[in-house]
Every structure is written in structure tokens, then in C-alpha cells.
């Protein structure tokens, strides 16, 4: 599939947004959906729908097979060793809560430490924060440098003999910093530390190879990967998923239920209690196929060119200050304009059909550190083209005019 014409695969770009062509620069928040994914949901509900894994009738068998097909596709796409290392969740947030909760129950002792970075999204901090109270564990933060990056030395510095878990993002949703997960994992494992990766931004932008990265857990957000909402994936090494206790209780996750005892199902059912997001899982198979048809290497190259072009354009704009200049950067360009609050920027840009995000992007720790209350963020997907950044810049100039900036 030719990446230069990929935009036409996404029906939303046929629509005028308030009489403008849509310039969608909010993919770090959620990506748009290709037609194949939208159609698959329709087709499944129209022709194949049934719940999975329970009944023996024809539709149930069909749906179950389709559901499990996606698990196999995901396993292949992220190069996991075993199909049962793929757990479907309602989102990456639930995946991270699952890990924090079950590691907290079985693995952590009072006084143990968890190491995060200052870049973390709230969903890779709040679930660990719960353990401060329930388990009396301590949370440390590896600091960012002036480029908005977290070099491995800054992580190493904060490791103590009590550090049991390192939980880090693969790609920062604010500075775009890409962390060296493989090296961090090597370092952590040499000290017996578990590595949990928040892969929300890594999923759509980076090559996912679990055996290469060797991390213990990796959380994925499907709606940021051209897939449906309401679906996430937890990759976990088999030994951990087997050893850790179940997360939620309910139908489908049990082996035997008696009045005096309950035994739990095998992987992956153990972590998939209740009726799952069946249509979303089945449609996500199309998202994987879509990504495979372009090829992650092509996506990386295309997005690198786009980000470099965007940086170049915005650097020339003297009122714009870019946030973060990490060596390895992907996916996002965050910025501020001195004298215009990010919300005002976003409202004015919206008038031209330019969709960005303004706020703290669920990263208050990072914004506190940067000493700014909020920032504006332009984030990209496979469908973006260079002229999107030209339009962004033009609309930024409109902001400057309204706010009387030179």
C-alpha cells in the first residue's frame, strides 16, 4: 500500500469539518479508522455475531474462531513467543491497572520501590500510586533532561536495592522521546527488576518485537493503532501471567466453581472475565492487516520525515517554542506560544479544521517539571502529509494576529 495515498483509506477525510478540509493532528489522543476496520465491525454484527467461548452453535464457533484469530495476529505482529501471552482488555489503562494490581497482590512487599519516569502518562502512575497506600510501597521518578528525554543513566541513578519494578513509556506522548526499552530491560533484569512498558504511543509508531525488547509486560491501546475504541492489549510473559493472581472475577475466567472453592481458568481466559469487546477484537485484526500492508518500516520513515518537516516549519515561527528535543523522537510535536494559552490556540485552530490537543495531556508531573500549566500538541498518524504542517503554521499565525503578537 502506498503511504502517500493512504489518506483515502480513511472515510473521515471525505467529510468537511465546519466547511474545512480536516487536518487531523490529534492521533496521539486517538487515531482515525480506515474503512476496512469500520466495515468489519458492521459485517460482524450483520452476519456473524454471537458471544464467544461459551455456546456450541454455529455462530458461537465462528465468532470464537475470529476472536482467537486476532489473538494470533497480534502475537505475530508483536512477536510474542506464545499466543497465551496476549490478553485483551478494555484499554491500555485496564492493562496497566491489571499489572499493577496483580503484581501488588503477589509480588510486592512493604517498603519495595517502583521506578517511573517524569514522562509518564497518568495511566502509568495512578495505578501504581494505589499501591502506596495498600502496600506501603515507594514510587521514585527518573528525571528528564533538558531535551525532554530520559537517558538510561537517569534511570540507573534511581535504582536502589529495593527497586522491584520499572514502569516506563516507550514513546512520550508529550516530548516524543523514544526510550531505549531493550537496554533498560537488560539493565533491569541484571538486577532482578521487572519491566512494565506503557506502549500506548509505541504501538502505532514503532516496531513491536516483544522477544527483542524482552520486557515483562507491554500495554497497547488499540484505538491509537487505527483500531476500535474499548480495546487494549496486555502482553505479559507467560511465567508472570501464570504466576500472578486473576484480576477481575466473573464468567469465562473460571475452571470450577463450588460453594467452598473456586479454581481459575488457564491463560488467557484467566484474565478475560465477562463478555469481551468481541466486535472490536475481531475488527482489530483488520487494523493489524492494515499496518502490515503498509509495513512498519515505511510508517517509521514517513513519520520521521513528517516530524522533521513539522519541526523545521515551527522552529522558523518565532513565537513558537517546541517542547522537548530528544535524540530519538516520534509521533508528536508539542509546543507553546508565549502570550497565547494552549486552549485559545486549539479553539482558533479548530476554526480552520485543524484538530490538535491542548492541556496537560494527562502528564501533570511533566508539565510541573517544565513549569508550564499546559501545552499544545500536534500529533501524527500514517495519513498525515507535509501540507498539514503548512496549514498548522498558517493557523498559528492567525492566533498570533488575533492576540496581536509579532
Partner 1 sequence: MNLKELYQEIILEHGKNPRNLRKTENFNKDAKGNNPLCGDIVHVYLKLSEQRKVEDISFEGSGCAISMASASIMTDLIKGKSDNETKEIIEDFLGMIKENPELKSNILKEDDKTKLMCLSGVKQYPMRVKCATLSWHTLISAMENDGKEISTES
Site for partner 1, rule CB under 8 A = 18, 339-344, 347-348, 351, 358-360, 364, 367, 373-374, 402-404
Please tell me the distance from the alpha carbon of residue 293 to that of residue 295, in angstroms, as a whole number.
Answer: 6
Q: Which is nearer to partner 1, 80 or 348 (CB)?
A: 348
Is residue 49 within 8 A of residue 64, CB to CB? The reply is no
Least Å from the CB of residue 132 to partner 1: 20
> C-alpha dihedral over 23, 172, 73, 209, to 10 degrees?
140
Q: Which is nearer to partner 1, 325 or 364 (CB)?
A: 364
Please tell me the distance from the alpha carbon of residue 171 to that of residue 169, in angstroms, as a whole number.
Answer: 6
Q: Which is nearer to partner 1, 4 or 404 (CB)?
A: 404
Least Å from the CB of residue 400 to partner 1: 12
CA contacts within 13 A on the Cβ side of 3: 19
- Of 345, 329, 336, whose CA–CA distance to 380 is shortest? 329
Please tell me the distance from the alpha carbon of residue 137 to that of residue 150, in angstroms, as a whole number.
Answer: 23
Catalytic annotation present for 362: yes
Q: Which is nearer to partner 1, 250 or 373 (CB)?
A: 373
Query: Which of the residues 200, 222, 362, 399 is marked catalytic?
Result: 362
Cβ neighbour number for residue 343 with a 10 Å cutoff: 12
Least Å from the CB of residue 402 to partner 1: 5
Least Å from the CB of residue 344 to partner 1: 5
3-state secondary structure the chain: CCHHHHHHHCHHHHCEECCEECEECECCCCCCCCHHHHHHHHHHHHHHCCCCCCCCCHHHHHHHHHHHHHHHHHHHHCCCCCHHHEEEECCHHHHHHHHHHHHHHHCCCCCCEEEEECCCCHHHCHHHHHHHHHHCCEEEEECCCCCCCCCHHHHHHHCCCCEEEEEEECECCCCCEECCHHHHHHHHHHCCCEEEEECCCHHHHCCCCHHHHCCCEEEEEHHHCCCCCCCEEEEECHHHHHHCCCCCCCCCCEEEECCCCEEECCCCHHHCCCCCCHHHHHHHHHHHHHHHHHCHHHHHHHHHHHHHHHHHHHHHCCCEEEECCCCCECCEEEEEECCECHHHHHHHHHCCCEECEEECCCCHHHHHHHCCCCEEEEECCCCCCHHHHHHHHHHHHHHHHHCCCC
Least Å from the CB of residue 401 to partner 1: 11
Least Å from the CB of residue 360 to partner 1: 5
Least Å from the CB of residue 29 to partner 1: 12
Least Å from the CB of residue 33 to partner 1: 23
Residues serving a catalytic function are 362
Amino acid at each position: 500500500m502506498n503511504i502517500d495515498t493512504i489518506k483515502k483509506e480513511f472515510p473521515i477525510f471525505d467529510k468537511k469539518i465546519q466547511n474545512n478540509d480536516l487536518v487531523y493532528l490529534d492521533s496521539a489522543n486517538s487515531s482515525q479508522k480506515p474503512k476496512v476496520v469500520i466495515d468489519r465491525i458492521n459485517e460482524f454484527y450483520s452476519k456473524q455475531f454471537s458471544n464467544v467461548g461459551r455456546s456450541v452453535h454455529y455462530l458461537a464457533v465462528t465468532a470464537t474462531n475470529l476472536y482467537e484469530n486476532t489473538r494470533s495476529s497480534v502475537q505475530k505482529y508483536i512477536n510474542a513467543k506464545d499466543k497465551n501471552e496476549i490478553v485483551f482488555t478494555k484499554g491500555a489503562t485496564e492493562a496497566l491497572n491489571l499489572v499493577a494490581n496483580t503484581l501488588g497482590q503477589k509480588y510486592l512487599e512493604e517498603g519495595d520501590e517502583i521506578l517511573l519516569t517524569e514522562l509518564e502518562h497518568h495511566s502509568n502512575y495512578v495505578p501504581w500510586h494505589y499501591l502506596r497506600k495498600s502496600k506501603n510501597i515507594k514510587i521514585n521518578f527518573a528525571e528528564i533532561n533538558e531535551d525532554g528525554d530520559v537517558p538510561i543513566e537517569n534511570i540507573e541513578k534511581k535504582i536502589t536495592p529495593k527497586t522491584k519494578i520499572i514502569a516506563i513509556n516507550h514513546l512520550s506522548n508529550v516530548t516524543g522521546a523514544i526510550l531505549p526499552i531493550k537496554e533498560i530491560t537488560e539493565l533491569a533484569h541484571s538486577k532482578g527488576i521487572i519491566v512494565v512498558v506503557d506502549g500506548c504511543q509505541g504501538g502505532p509508531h514503532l516496531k513491536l518485537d516483544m522477544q527483542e525488547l524482552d520486557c515483562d509486560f507491554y500495554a497497547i491501546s488499540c484505538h491509537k493503532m487505527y483500531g476500535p475504541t474499548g480495546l487494549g492489549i496486555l502482553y505479559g510473559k507467560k511465567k508472570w501471567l501464570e504466576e500472578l493472581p486473576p484480576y477481575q472475577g466473573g464468567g469465562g475466567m473460571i475452571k470450577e466453581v463450588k460453594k467452598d472453592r473456586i479454581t481459575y481458568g488457564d491463560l488467557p481466559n484467566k484474565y478475560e472475565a465477562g463478555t469481551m469487546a468481541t466486535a472490536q477484537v475481531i475488527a482489530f485484526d483488520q487494523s493489524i492487516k492494515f499496518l502490515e500492508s503498509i509495513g512498519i518500516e515505511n510508517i517509521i520513515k514517513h513519520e520521521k520525515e513528517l516530524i522533521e518537516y513539522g519541526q523545521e516549519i515551527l522552529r522558523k515561527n518565532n513565537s513558537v517554542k517546541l517542547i522537548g528535543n530528544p535524540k530519538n523522537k516520534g509521533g508528536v510535536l508539542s509546543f507553546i506560544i508565549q502570550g497565547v494559552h494552549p486552549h485559545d490556540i486549539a479553539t482558533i485552530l479548530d476554526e480552520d479544521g485543524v484538530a490538535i490537543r491542548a492541556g496537560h495531556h494527562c502528564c501533570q508531573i511533566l508539565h510541573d517539571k517544565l513549569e508550564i500549566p499546559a501545552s499544545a500538541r500536534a500529533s501524527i498518524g500514517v495519513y498525515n502529509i507535509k501540507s498539514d504542517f503548512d496549514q498548522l503554521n498558517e493557523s498559528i499565525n492567525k492566533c498570533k494576529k488575533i492576540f496581536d503578537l509579532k
